[in-house]
Structure 1
């Protein structure tokens, strides 16, 4: 897809590369910009052009953000979106974080080299309102920059951003807010101590007590199991070895399997 502008540099409907080559060959257009490639028509103004509705769609991600320009066609069944332009923006969040770590280490080296006392800096700095970590700010800036670029060279009339529709923690706890999102079910607990108290110092499979216990994954890690507290069970060495790579359901204990869901 090639972006097109009129005589006054107003955006027109994009065209295919083949049509752009023909317009350039016939002398009806000139190259206006190389990156991204934009042509300017010599004999067309935006008032005389038929513009179709375009929508800019953004799907933000932690490492890659997908951006699409879609032509919106209204039908009796509803709006149909035809993709006109597709691209992926690769974020530099990890590189930004690594650069900040390098800066921090270099600063610590400079500070430690001086023997005279300096007041600690981290205790007398306030975080301004709306502050974002540099890695996250880089992601936001990348998406906003490309949105500005595409709306500058195309007649996009709307912007749609895909957001996470479900807050799973809010579904489990309707009163959660603020820093509670950072504190899971194991906040303030040691994992092993939590599981010992949860299963009352008994093996979850044979109900044995008074023996060395091990933490068992109800759904094994080799089969996609996680380290969530709900996926951990207390087991004696014999049951843990006998269970092996099986799930609790396959091992004959559906009541333990139900706790992992």
Structure 2
């Protein structure tokens, strides 16, 4: 499939007549503007008749499925793999920054209000995925005269996956209800007993530790343990 742009740069219907494409290129009536996907631009005035093309987007957190079709033909399809290393990269950057600040400005007072989030702020990992969806849709619009876009989305109830019987106010009254913070909840959950020696050391000092590193597992209760 060869994608075609008009003289003004607007997308036209693609073609699979490769012989005609070669003749246009040899006679300098067209030029190559992109090799992947192979796209040419006409250098003469032509008709702008197009068909209805529907762009379907199957959104996801790891992959995006894209397909542009007419009533009886597939004109473009792609599977895009999204980046999933944004959180790790930001955690690594935070680690280096803290190390550098502790070396050079260890006596500087902590500042907490010097970075205010703007309205509509999204986490960098989520923002990157949103931007990637929009970028792919824009790229397809540049090579095909899309008339309609259909985005397939799905929502998941994470709390209902954990507890199928949850309903009503149970959504607001979770397992950490009435606890001062996560630490107090983890201590109560573990009965204030070291989960390694089961209290045999008789050490009264208890600490909350991460099972996996905070960078990998986060601060959720299922990644915390009493030791």
Q: TM-score, normalised by structure 2?
A: 0.64
Assess, with a 3 A threshold, how the Cα gap between structure 1 residues 121 and 57 changes in structure 2: closer, same or farther. Answer: farther
Q: Which residue of 2 aligns with 1:33?
A: 34
Q: Which residue of 2 aligns with 1:101?
A: 91
**Using the alignment, how far apart are the partners of 2:15 and 2:40 within structure 1?**
10
Q: Which residue of 2 aligns with 1:126?
A: 116
Which protein has greater RCO, CA pairs closer than 8 Å, 6+ apart?
Answer: 2
The Cα of 1:42 is off from its aligned counterpart by 3.6
**Using the alignment, how far apart are the partners of 2:22 and 2:33 within structure 1?**
14
**Using the alignment, how far apart are the partners of 1:4 and 1:176 within structure 2?**
56
The Cα of 1:18 is off from its aligned counterpart by 3.0
User: Runs in 1 of length 4+ with deviation above 4 angstroms?
Assistant: 25-28, 165-172, 174-177, 188-194
Partner of residue 84 from structure 1, selected from 75, 97, 100: 75
Unaligned runs of at least 5 residues, structure 2: 178-184, 191-227
For the 8 Å contact 1:59–1:162, the answer to whether it is kept is yes
Q: Which residue of 1 aligns with 2:219?
A: none
Give CA-to-partner distance per residue, 1:14-38, whole Å, 9 cap, x none.
2237354454356543213334431
Give CA-to-partner distance per residue, 1:135-183, whole Å, 9 cap, x none.
1111111111121111122100121111115657589435688xx5xx8
Unaligned runs of at least 5 residues, structure 1: 74-80, 195-261
Specify which structure has the higher proportion of strand. 1
Assess, with a 3 A threshold, how the Cα gap between structure 1 residues 150 and 191 changes in structure 2: closer, same or farther. Answer: farther
Give CA-to-partner distance per residue, 1:180-228, whole Å, 9 cap, x none.
5xx8x5335669959xxxxxxxxxxxxxxxxxxxxxxxxxxxxxxxxxx
Q: Which residue of 2 aligns with 1:8?
A: 8
- Equivalenced residue count is 178
The Cα of 1:12 is off from its aligned counterpart by 0.1
Quote the RMSD (CA, aligned, Å).
Answer: 3.3
Query: Aligned with 1:86: secondary structure?
Result: strand
For the pair shown, the structure with the greater C-alpha radius of gyration is 1
